[in-house]
Structure 1
Amino acid sequence: MTIDIPWARNEFDEFLKLTALQRAQDVPGVVGGTNRLVNRGRPSEIVASAHVVEQILDRVLPRWRQEVPDDKNKTINRWYQHREAVQRADAALTRDEEVRARLGDDAPQASAAMMHSWAWDGARALWRSGHFREAVTAAARKVNAETQNKVGRRDLSETKLFQSAFSTNAPKADEPRLRLMTDDGSDTFRSIHRGAMAFAEGCYAGIRNPNSHEDGLPELPEHEALEQLAAFSVLARWVDTATLLTI
């Protein structure tokens, strides 16, 4: 699902209005007062707005908590980091396409938040803290677990699990199958399921295992981790949309 940009920008605008600073004596209905600065909105209003805004920020700028400064200005306005993140995200929503075109790179942009939920939900917390290699490993575990849930098997995992699930053999009482298309006896049917098995093996043998078992590996660059996460997203989508065949 794509972001409703007008709605998101309206939420941003409302948050910025609520968190703007004003002199305490300028609050409507207050006589006198001091020169103390306060937020324009009531705390309850700001907190409610922030709840929505944070979810938008997580989609537009997944690492905003790490990348947007959270410095001493927060002592003046506790919502300082949120406000700058909102301003950046608003620019991203409205100007990214223009910037890419002007800089000569208007290629499609990948977003982790737009990947299959099994992959992103597994990776989200570690990703946002910059632990990209561990995030990919967590996504791999999540996809494996959801596949076990779908086929009802706990005795197999990872490569062997997918080899059994996507096998073109007929299902058995204790061996359900996943079908990406109807078995019409065609080469296409056999090719698709053979490819799914090989792809799953590549994901776990070539990505998950090295990430999990090699000590002292440097942190993955974010763009490389995104590529690896996308691989597990593809696998997750195949499993999720496949028809479960049992006897």
Structure 2
Amino acid sequence: MAIDIDWARAEFARFLELTDLIRPQSPPGVTVMGSSKLSNRGSQADIVASAQVVEQILDRVQPRWRTDVPDDRNKRVNRWYQHREAVQRADVALQRDAEVREKLGDDAPQLSAATMHPWVWEGARALWRSGHFREAVTAAARKVNAETQNKVSRRDAGETGLFQSLFSKDAPKAGQPRLRLMDDDGSDTFRSVHRGATAFAEGCFAAIRNPNSHEDGLPELPEHEALEQLAAFSVLARWVDTAVLTT
């Protein structure tokens, strides 16, 4: 689902207004000598409530804002400094992303990890935000495997062996349910789809998950390559999630 840009920008504007620094007015009839301390325009309760929404928008627009935006500058002046700068950056991105990509000569569609299947992004999110992309992909793979086990109520098999069994073209047996991506009409298409799903799942775990997990000393994955790997597991997760369970 696409972001409601007008709504998101309105939330940003409210947060910036609440966290703006002002000099409190003196009570009527009271004169304060010297400069008084600056404080946020909004109450702490209102700011925290606004931040709860704003952080979720930032996670969609700029998933790495917690590490990319400095969090120590001017913290003593305004504790919401990092949030404010992240909001300002994200607001510009919402306004001008399409324009910037067009002017730079690349207006191709963009892929966001946050729009992938929830199993994948939920598994990867925490590690992704801290820049641990290879570990994030591994965590996403584990999440997809675990959710698949949950759907079919099996703990005796996992990863490649599990998916080979689930997408098998054979009829289900006791303790060996199947996942069907289409009705078994005896057609070549049915056989092709499930043979392909089996091979795809095997490739995801054998060629992506296993090297990421077992090879010590591998350099960190570039973010765009990790995103491609997440996308592969997102495809697999959607197949599993939408497949019909037969027992």
TM-score (norm 1): 0.96
For the 8 Å contact 2:179–2:244, the answer to whether it is kept is yes
Count of aligned pairs between the two proteins: 245
Displacement after TM superposition at 1:29 (Å): 6.8
Displacement after TM superposition at 1:8 (Å): 0.7
CA distance in 2, matches of 1:22, 1:151: 58
Matched, 1:110 2:111: yes
- Mapping of residues 1-247 of structure 1, within 5 Å: 1-25=1-25, 31-33=30-32, 34-246=35-247
* RMSD (Å), alpha carbons: 1.3
For the 8 Å contact 2:73–2:81, the answer to whether it is kept is no
CA distance in 2, matches of 1:2, 1:194: 33
Unaligned stretches of 5+ residues in structure 1: none
For the 8 Å contact 2:181–2:194, the answer to whether it is kept is yes
CA distance in 2, matches of 1:125, 1:29: 50
Residues 41 and 31 (structure 1 numbering): CA distance in 2 closer, same or farther, change over 3 Å?
farther
**1:156-190 CA deviation, whole Å, 9 max, x = no partner?**
10001000000111011211000000111111111
Read off the aligned partner of 2:14 and give its amino acid letter: E
Unaligned stretches of 5+ residues in structure 2: none
Runs ≥4 residues deviating over 2 A:
28-35
For the 8 Å contact 1:25–1:35, the answer to whether it is kept is no
CA distance in 2, matches of 1:209, 1:42: 50
CA distance in 2, matches of 1:135, 1:121: 10
Residues 30 and 23 (structure 1 numbering): CA distance in 2 closer, same or farther, change over 3 Å?
farther
CA distance in 2, matches of 1:74, 1:98: 33
* Identical positions, percent: 78
Read off the aligned partner of 2:192 and give its amino acid letter: S
**1:127-149 CA deviation, whole Å, 9 max, x = no partner?**
11111100000000000001111
Read off the aligned partner of 1:228 and give its amino acid letter: Q
SS in 2 for 1:25: coil
